[in-house]
Structure 1
């Protein structure tokens, strides 16, 4: 029997004194010994902070994102090796797809976010804050990687996804991590990490692995570190309340198993597509991963007149489900991950059975395929009925972490919301209805106690990712019992690993720090013209000062004829009474178009194309007789990746366009984006 090893401080370590023997969830055969006895966690965490953290902070967001993409591609090529071992966790092929390819998908998703961050090791957040009347003192915010290490404590049910969905975020932010998966299934996590280490894609020290129970791993955590925990609410709260974590102000993200619900809308009838969608979705949440998902539906809330119809339809669908050895043909539901988990589930079932009736018992109505119920960690689906959910409340307090759910009635949508709230905070609730008003009412009333709400109907069903699937760009977490934390969430998730710092000073100084032109900073005249300079040569703050143009009524008429914009304020001087305008006013888009005519250098040069416009504002009316000029300033430079060896090396340059009149007042301001060729084409 092999030993599951730990990867710490640059080496694989096999620890003595076996702490756990992992068994095949299908056959019960022992497959690996697991231990983390004797690991020096203080040294491990410090190694990550210094070795991995230093290397990651030297990289830009773009480089870190590309690193994630390379890793995702590398793991995708080797995914079949992971699938093979995943069968030992009791997972079917489709269960493993969620875990393995879902986890790799998180890497791809966060890799794509690199384009929304600067090509710098830090991020500039928000807008300039003007702090003085004369403009010589301003403020801004920057976000830099924290100088600590992320400690991820993960649950047993997703040994691959649980790790990859977390490290994708901290690595993009520039922070190293130590991952401690559950010892129950860490043998699969170890296999994936071995391939990651062999790839040499990640800087050494940026990812370490503790496969055993990890007792004491949080003891050396200090200010600057981040702890995340996925698992039971009781354990998570104990860890979160550790005195030294509070004393050191260590962020602790808790994502706990919760009593999630799915609600069938009161306007749905058994003949509607939504009824079938509801049954299909509940069935999936009971059988996928054998119900071992933190997002699984534990409470099925339906209009009271549809209780019998839902019970019958769900029972019929469950009877047709083949449960057993996940390698067997046609099997759609496997085993629980461990025999320990089965024992825990049985205790919860006893509590629920004291208050409620069983309306579907898979032990009596389902056959086990090519497996032994005693040797394997199998539990057949069970559906309870709770006819009085406001008085029989165990269903709102006890979570059976397996293929178990309870059907309960409601008399009005207000009651449905109350029942959802009795779970005291959920990761996700879904409502199945084709009535958008019903969906709107329910969502707004139930949102305060849910991290996510899915509205499912015939119009989105084909492409819906389902009740139980958190998405990388959306927040995963929930209030109350669900832990009060957030994971993933796109850019918002990356911010958890960055320190947001306010900076104050002169616009020149803030421009130098942020490498983004700040209003009021110096604007040296560009020589040669900015459109004659390659990407590398352009300097933040350099400015083109154009010649001027006096606006005429003919300009307004000609632009109206060309654009088709005959809005009364431009064309009918007799209709201006009671408006903001004194007389006919030039089109805002004429002003912007004329500005382009003033600042563009028409000859062929490094500028390849106009890429777009941001933050366009028209701040003062321009009347015939006004004289306008333009200050075109290099605001920000963003390097782009070459998509192929033959691609043109280039970057995006943001130019600040300041259009002013004869009084010096700004009449229009915009940020334009241009694609500019690089001098170095390698």
Structure 2
């Protein structure tokens, strides 16, 4: 029997002790032995800090993004080898697509986010400088830096690839190495992906380690710059979170726990409406996808009492058509649970619910299995199970007991207030859904229940074609929830990266803030050069390089001509009598005329390294510009972001962010903003 090795301190090793077995979910055959006893787990922390941590933290955000993008391409090219192993866990191809390719997509997503929004630097200036004095020479700014620690990720069994990559992406982007502890039941899939990552040579040594088995006394060796993230049962999570060493060292701990998520059918929906069919489809999909082994699966189905009979019949009809069996068979739509231990746990939870106010509508017992293929005796199959709780306010077990399989419970409500109370009885959820065609219903339910959910989906005919569904976390959205769901956050776009970084408020002069952030800020010194900055290539531009333009006096003809050209005849610009009654007291120039005139003052018109205007950010009009006012512009190179050259045909370039300050004749600012330009680089990447 194959031994499932761990990857510790740069080598693949196996422990010495009593092993745990991993069984094939379909045949029940023992496949792997897992043991981490006696492994140098404590040494792995120092190895990660000394090697992976130093290498990652020395890379800029842009370099980390390119690393992750290259790795995602590598994994995508080798995905079929992962599918072959993943079938052992009982999941169908569609289930494994979410896990394998969905996980890889998370790497792509974070690489793209960083490429667009993060600096080509190791320090992230999080916000604009905050003035702390009247004269402007004492200010503050929040910066994010890499922590010299290790992220220990303890993952659940249901998504062995996605569960790992959703945490790795923001961890690596933050410049922190990771140690992965997958759930033993599906550790072979995680190990296969880790092998692909290590063998690719695309990540620094020590950036990723893997523990197949238990973590021993690893918690005892963690330090305050480290972080722990956990996905799994609330009971285990609470035990880990309260570990004395974590508390003593104030070690960051993020928990995502399984929750009893709900789906509400709005009281406006009738069986004739398209939303009714969408509701039935969504509930069935969430019950059978991954055989219901998802932390986001719908467990509580909240239905208007008037529609209960129609919903019940429609769900039973659809569930009866689900083909169960060996997921290698193309006609199979639902495979097995991960192992017989999990199957027995689901049966125990169903039995408990049946003794506490619920009755079975279908399934509810292994004897109800109808398999297309596979072994009912040796495999970990469990039938789709629909329960009914007639009085969910009296029988509270349905809101506190989760059968982690293809199990959901119908419960009726009389009015929306009751639906809202039932949703909240879950005690905090990762996700909730509402199916409605009525905006007033959506507003009432969401406003009342949002605080108890991490994410909420409103499903109707308009969203159906493009909706990713109730159970699909997206990299740009927060994945996590309050209360029973653990109170933590994962994913969430770039905010997830911040979980693994240290935020520090830096106080000092603008010049010092600019030096620390390697980004010019207003109030810092500027560099003036006789050569126009638009005549310089990306590499030749210096941060703080500045141009003070000539002046231009605004005339009535300017305002009239701009109004005619743009079609903007707003009274404050064009109506002398109306403008006299406005807060300005007289006619003023269009704000966009000021911006256009400013561009006319600072732009160098000749062909040169500037390729294009890339956009504008943070535009604010500070003071009105009146007829006869004279404006002048200071253009300053604020920061530079090198962009990777995608192909030899792509012109090498970078993005330059310019600070633009438009002043009037009294040296008072009238407009402040940033413009972004694409500027050619001298040297390409090929």
Q: TM (normalized to structure 1)?
A: 0.98
Using the TM superposition, name which of 479-488 and 379-388 deviates more: 379-388
Query: Is the 8 Å Cα contact of residues 49 and 148 (structure 2) preserved in structure 1?
Result: yes
Using the TM superposition, name which of 289-298 and 526-535 deviates more: 526-535
Residue in structure 1 matched with residue 87 of structure 2 by the alignment: 87
Residue in structure 2 matched with residue 448 of structure 1 by the alignment: 451
Equivalent in 354, 358, 361 of residue 359 of structure 1: 361
1:328 and 1:677 mapped to 2: Cα distance?
A: 54
Deviation (angstroms), 1:366? 4.8
Using the TM superposition, name which of 289-298 and 364-373 deviates more: 364-373
SS of the equivalent of 2:221 reads coil
Query: Is the 8 Å Cα contact of residues 288 and 333 (structure 1) preserved in structure 2?
Result: yes
Residue in structure 2 matched with residue 531 of structure 1 by the alignment: 534
1:357-396 equivalent positions in 2, closer than 5 A? 357-361=359-363, 363=366, 366-396=369-399
Is residue 620 of structure 2 the alignment partner of residue 625 of structure 1? no
- Structure 2: 5+ residue stretches without partners: none
Is residue 144 of structure 2 the alignment partner of residue 160 of structure 1? no
SS of the equivalent of 2:284 reads helix
Query: Is the 8 Å Cα contact of residues 27 and 375 (structure 1) preserved in structure 2?
Result: yes
Using the TM superposition, name which of 571-580 and 626-635 deviates more: 571-580
Is residue 142 of structure 2 the alignment partner of residue 133 of structure 1? no
1:476 and 1:576 mapped to 2: Cα distance?
A: 51
1:145 and 1:125 mapped to 2: Cα distance?
A: 13
Residue in structure 2 matched with residue 634 of structure 1 by the alignment: 637
Is residue 282 of structure 2 the alignment partner of residue 298 of structure 1? no
2:7 and 2:368 mapped to 1: Cα distance?
A: 46
Equivalent in 397, 400, 405 of residue 397 of structure 1: 400
SS of the equivalent of 2:355 reads helix
1:565 and 1:321 mapped to 2: Cα distance?
A: 60
Equivalent in 547, 558, 561 of residue 558 of structure 1: 561
Deviation (angstroms), 1:252? 0.7
Using the TM superposition, name which of 55-64 and 552-561 deviates more: 552-561
Deviation (angstroms), 1:354? 0.3
Residue in structure 2 matched with residue 216 of structure 1 by the alignment: 217
Residue in structure 1 matched with residue 433 of structure 2 by the alignment: 430
Query: Is the 8 Å Cα contact of residues 580 and 587 (structure 2) preserved in structure 1?
Result: no
Deviation (angstroms), 1:364? 6.0
Deviation (angstroms), 1:456? 0.8
Equivalent in 510, 513, 516 of residue 513 of structure 1: 516
- Structure 1: 5+ residue stretches without partners: none
2:380 and 2:465 mapped to 1: Cα distance?
A: 34
Residue in structure 1 matched with residue 678 of structure 2 by the alignment: 675
Query: Is the 8 Å Cα contact of residues 553 and 631 (structure 2) preserved in structure 1?
Result: yes
SS of the equivalent of 2:219 reads coil
Query: Is the 8 Å Cα contact of residues 18 and 33 (structure 1) preserved in structure 2?
Result: no
Deviation (angstroms), 1:223? 0.2
Deviation (angstroms), 1:679? 2.4
Residue in structure 2 matched with residue 323 of structure 1 by the alignment: 324
Deviation (angstroms), 1:441? 1.4
Deviation (angstroms), 1:365? 5.5
Residue in structure 1 matched with residue 78 of structure 2 by the alignment: 78
Residue in structure 2 matched with residue 179 of structure 1 by the alignment: 180
Residue in structure 2 matched with residue 647 of structure 1 by the alignment: 650
Aligned CA RMSD, in angstroms, stands at 1.3
Q: Deviations over 1:118-146 (max 9, x none)?
A: 11112110111000111111111110111
Deviation (angstroms), 1:374? 1.8
1:82 and 1:562 mapped to 2: Cα distance?
A: 60
Equivalent in 582, 586, 603 of residue 583 of structure 1: 586
Residue in structure 2 matched with residue 14 of structure 1 by the alignment: 14
Q: Deviations over 1:233-289 (max 9, x none)?
A: 000001000111011111111000001111111011011111111111111111111
1:323 and 1:315 mapped to 2: Cα distance?
A: 15
1:542 and 1:134 mapped to 2: Cα distance?
A: 23
Query: Is the 8 Å Cα contact of residues 349 and 403 (structure 2) preserved in structure 1?
Result: yes
1:280 and 1:563 mapped to 2: Cα distance?
A: 50
Residue in structure 2 matched with residue 569 of structure 1 by the alignment: 572
Query: Is the 8 Å Cα contact of residues 15 and 36 (structure 1) preserved in structure 2?
Result: yes
Deviation (angstroms), 1:44? 0.6
Using the TM superposition, name which of 14-23 and 294-303 deviates more: 14-23
Deviation (angstroms), 1:561? 2.2
Query: Is the 8 Å Cα contact of residues 319 and 365 (structure 1) preserved in structure 2?
Result: no
Q: Deviations over 1:409-434 (max 9, x none)?
A: 00111111101111100111101111
Using the TM superposition, name which of 648-657 and 255-264 deviates more: 648-657
Is residue 504 of structure 2 the alignment partner of residue 504 of structure 1? no
Query: Is the 8 Å Cα contact of residues 478 and 486 (structure 1) preserved in structure 2?
Result: yes
2:50 and 2:121 mapped to 1: Cα distance?
A: 20
Query: Is the 8 Å Cα contact of residues 357 and 385 (structure 1) preserved in structure 2?
Result: yes
1:164 and 1:681 mapped to 2: Cα distance?
A: 31
2:18 and 2:560 mapped to 1: Cα distance?
A: 86
1:267-278 equivalent positions in 2, closer than 5 A? 267-278=268-279
Question: Number of residue pairs matched?
Answer: 682
Using the TM superposition, name which of 224-233 and 349-358 deviates more: 349-358
Query: Is the 8 Å Cα contact of residues 182 and 213 (structure 1) preserved in structure 2?
Result: no
1:512 and 1:633 mapped to 2: Cα distance?
A: 15
Deviation (angstroms), 1:576? 2.7
Deviation (angstroms), 1:73? 0.8
SS of the equivalent of 1:395 reads helix
SS of the equivalent of 2:264 reads strand
Query: Is the 8 Å Cα contact of residues 179 and 209 (structure 2) preserved in structure 1?
Result: yes
Query: Is the 8 Å Cα contact of residues 160 and 192 (structure 1) preserved in structure 2?
Result: yes
Q: Deviations over 1:63-120 (max 9, x none)?
A: 1111111111111111111111111101111111111111111111111111211111
SS of the equivalent of 2:507 reads strand
1:413 and 1:197 mapped to 2: Cα distance?
A: 53
Q: Deviations over 1:602-649 (max 9, x none)?
A: 222211121111112221122222222111111111111112112211
Deviation (angstroms), 1:16? 2.1
2:375 and 2:557 mapped to 1: Cα distance?
A: 89
Query: Is the 8 Å Cα contact of residues 645 and 684 (structure 2) preserved in structure 1?
Result: no
Residue in structure 1 matched with residue 147 of structure 2 by the alignment: 146
SS of the equivalent of 2:184 reads coil
Query: Is the 8 Å Cα contact of residues 260 and 426 (structure 2) preserved in structure 1?
Result: yes
Query: Is the 8 Å Cα contact of residues 2 and 33 (structure 1) preserved in structure 2?
Result: yes
1:9 and 1:484 mapped to 2: Cα distance?
A: 33
Residue in structure 2 matched with residue 59 of structure 1 by the alignment: 59
Query: Is the 8 Å Cα contact of residues 541 and 634 (structure 1) preserved in structure 2?
Result: yes
Query: Is the 8 Å Cα contact of residues 41 and 220 (structure 1) preserved in structure 2?
Result: no
2:580 and 2:562 mapped to 1: Cα distance?
A: 23
